[in-house]
């Protein structure tokens, strides 16, 4: 029997397509112009151009293009980069700090028009709902199945887990605990634990532990009791099937917090760092090599050469590495020779040092490093200034970088609210109504339920480089009519205007009662003046 090579269907397809393209090129005359011609109208579709001939990607389904082995590798490398690579960690923690920070605050906003309530009645109901939510969200024993983190800390953990793992799952078990008000808990499940039972291959209606119907809607997920890839498990693994929606009520039992869903029909997500892992690894190796070179060059060592009146004829001191490592033993040498800060090395007779200049630090390191970080930041939607926390350009350039980054943070915040915050708030609301803690007539009607559970989520404010300029700009937007006080208050302080206004009114009443009211003179008309030199913005 002769030796043979077994080829996959994809390899056979590539060979057939390449052979067909070659036959097409030989049978047709080359097109004129276009840098040498092409057999296709679009140069990007050419298989004959030298620059494109080796680029042969496959067309596959969303789940095939993000297969289980590749996704596991991406997740493992993303977590390792998060632990050990400064740029990767900076991208993750910067997003966590700006998207969540100290937590996204829920402000109930019931739709009083649909519910037939007056604005005063709606305010009273909103205050009652917010009290119930704060009792639930602020206590780890109330909201966390592990009784470790409150809801605001869970938000940060869910975001980081989804960004490093591609997605994160949240189950809602019913756990009774002494001394608690509610029994609905939130349990975060890492992406590794959701998989096909016993390592079964994907099927028509199950992909990587997610079971779905004919329309692609999730029906159930299969959660492993441990980590299937853990090599040191000492107990047998089993999988639990958890329905995504309750069979009787349709209540959410499983939440999937996505990092990104880039294609329709995709069931599992890719990590946030997946597109930049290769340049990130190369950049880390380059930076480590430059750092080590700088350290070695800083260890300048002085060599002392001894002279002798006659040739030792091979009877001199032993070579480096051959001497007794213990100094002073038997009158031997002085130990192993190595570099050190300000070290003086005594050379053997007849030996002469060779001086090499490593030319460190490298003057081209910072420009090249910054150029690669810019490319990485572009893929991550984070400008260089925001990623490195280095605002060295003008005010306008720094503010533009901050605004561009906040577009990304706002989008991430909205995804987190849709996938985690609002669903968990509605679960608490369901139990509060069932226990009679909140009166909600007609709550069983899905339309009225949405009216009752409407809310806004406010996160930490984006801050300002120059608060005076930002405040003046906000006042101008309000005066012109393109904004309002609610929007500007939320953007600058992270609070609602209603809450700020009520607190301000209470403060003024208290001041008048104490006799400490400060009279504010009416504002004078603005007079055009020549701007000061520091107010003139220079563009880079």
Give the C-alpha separation, 368 to 289, whole Å: 14
- State the pairing for strand pair 254-258/167-171: antiparallel
Strand order in the sheet with 206-207: 206-207, 210-212, 218-224, 239-243
Residue 459 has pLDDT above 50, yes or no: yes
Residue 25 has pLDDT above 80, yes or no: no
Residue-wise pLDDT for 426-458, tens only, equals 999 999 999 999 999 999 999 999 999 999 998
SS3 135: helix
The H or E element spanning position 361 is none
Residue 262 has pLDDT above 90, yes or no: yes
Residue 121 has pLDDT above 80, yes or no: yes
* Alpha-helix residue ranges (DSSP H) falling in 262-420: 277-298, 365-380, 384-388, 395-416
Can you tell me which residue has the tokens 């007539």? Answer: 441
Q: What is the pLDDT of residue 21?
A: 58
Highest mean pLDDT among 312-326, 389-403, 408-422: 408-422
Q: What is the pLDDT of residue 535?
A: 45
Write down the mean pLDDT value for the chain.
85
Average pLDDT over residues 398-411: 93
Average pLDDT over residues 271-296: 93
- Is-contact 458 494, C-beta < 8 A? yes
Average pLDDT over residues 11-27: 63
Average pLDDT over residues 352-369: 79
Name residue 210's beta-bridge partners.
207, 221
Under the banding of pLDDT at 50, 70 and 90, the label for residue 143 is very high
Average pLDDT over residues 530-537: 48
Residue-wise pLDDT for 203-257, tens only, equals 999 999 999 999 999 999 999 999 998 877 778 899 999 999 998 888 999 999 9
Residue-wise pLDDT for 43-56, tens only, equals 899 988 888 888 98
Under the banding of pLDDT at 50, 70 and 90, the label for residue 529 is low
Helix axis angle, 151-165 to 86-99, nearest 10°: 140
């Amino acid at each position: 029997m002769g030796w043979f090579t077994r080829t996959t269907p994809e390899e056979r397809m590539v060979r057939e397509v390449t052979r067909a393209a070659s036959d097409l090129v030989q049978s047709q005359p080359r097109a004129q112009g276009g840098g040498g011609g092409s057999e296709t109208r679009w140069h990007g579709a050419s298989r004959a151009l030298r620059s494109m001939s080796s680029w042969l990607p496959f067309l596959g389904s969303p789940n095939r293009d993000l297969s289980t082995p590749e996704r596991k590798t991406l997740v493992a490398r993303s977590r390792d980069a998060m632990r050990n690579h400064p740029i990767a960690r900076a991208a993750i923690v910067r997003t966590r700090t700006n998207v969540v920070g100290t937590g996204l605050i829920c402000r109930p906003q019931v739709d009083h028009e649909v519910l037939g309530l007056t604005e005063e009645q709606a305010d009273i109901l909103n205050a009652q709902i917010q009290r119930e939510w704060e009792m639930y969200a602020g206590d780890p024993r109330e909201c966390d199945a592990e009784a470790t983190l409150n809801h605001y800390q869970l938000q940060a953990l869910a975001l980081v887990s989804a960004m490093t793992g591609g997605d994160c799952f949240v189950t809602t078990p019913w756990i009774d605990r002494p001394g608690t008000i509610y029994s609905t808990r939130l349990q975060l499940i890492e992406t590794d634990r959701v998989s096909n039972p016993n390592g079964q291959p994907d099927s028509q209606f199950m992909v990587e532990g997610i079971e779905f119907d004919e329309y692609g809607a999730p029906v159930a997920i299969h959660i492993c009791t441990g980590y299937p890839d853990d090599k040191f498990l000492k107990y047998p693994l089993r999988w639990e099937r958890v329905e995504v929606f309750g069979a009787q009520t349709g209540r959410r039992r499983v939440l999937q917090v996505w990092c990104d869903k880039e294609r329709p029909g995709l069931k599992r997500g890719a990590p946030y760092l997946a597109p930049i892992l290769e340049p990130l690894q190369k950049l880390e190796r380059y930076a480590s090599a430059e750092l080590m070179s700088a350290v070695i060059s800083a260890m300048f060592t002085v060599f002392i050469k001894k002279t002798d009146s006659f040739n030792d004829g091979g009877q001199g001191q032993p070579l480096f590495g051959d001497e007794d490592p213990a100094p002073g033993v038997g009158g031997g040498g002085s130990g192993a020779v190595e570099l050190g800060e300000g070290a003086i090395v005594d050379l053997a007779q007849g030996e002469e040092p060779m001086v090499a200049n490593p030319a460190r630090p490298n003057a081209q390191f910072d420009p090249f490093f910054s150029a690669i970080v810019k490319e990485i930041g572009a893929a991550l939607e984070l400008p260089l200034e925001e990623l490195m926390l280095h605002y060295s350009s003008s005010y306008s350039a720094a503010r533009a970088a901050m605004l561009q980054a906040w577009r990304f943070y706002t989008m991430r915040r909205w995804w987190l609210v849709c996938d985690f915050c609002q669903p968990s708030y509605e679960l608490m609301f369901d139990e509060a109504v069932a226990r009679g803690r909140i009166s909600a007539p007609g709550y069983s009607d899905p339309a009225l339920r949405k009216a009752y559970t409407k809310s806004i989520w406010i996160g930490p404010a984006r801050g300002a480089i120059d608060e005076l300029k930002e405040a003046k700009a906000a006042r101008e937007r309000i005066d012109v009519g393109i904004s309002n006080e609610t929007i500007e208050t939320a953007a600058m302080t992270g609070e609602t205007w209603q809450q700020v206004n009520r607190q301000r009114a209470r403060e003024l009443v208290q001041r008048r009662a104490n006799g400490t009211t400060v009279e504010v003179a009416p504002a004078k008309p603005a007079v055009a003046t020549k701007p000061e030199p520091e107010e003139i913005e220079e563009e880079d």
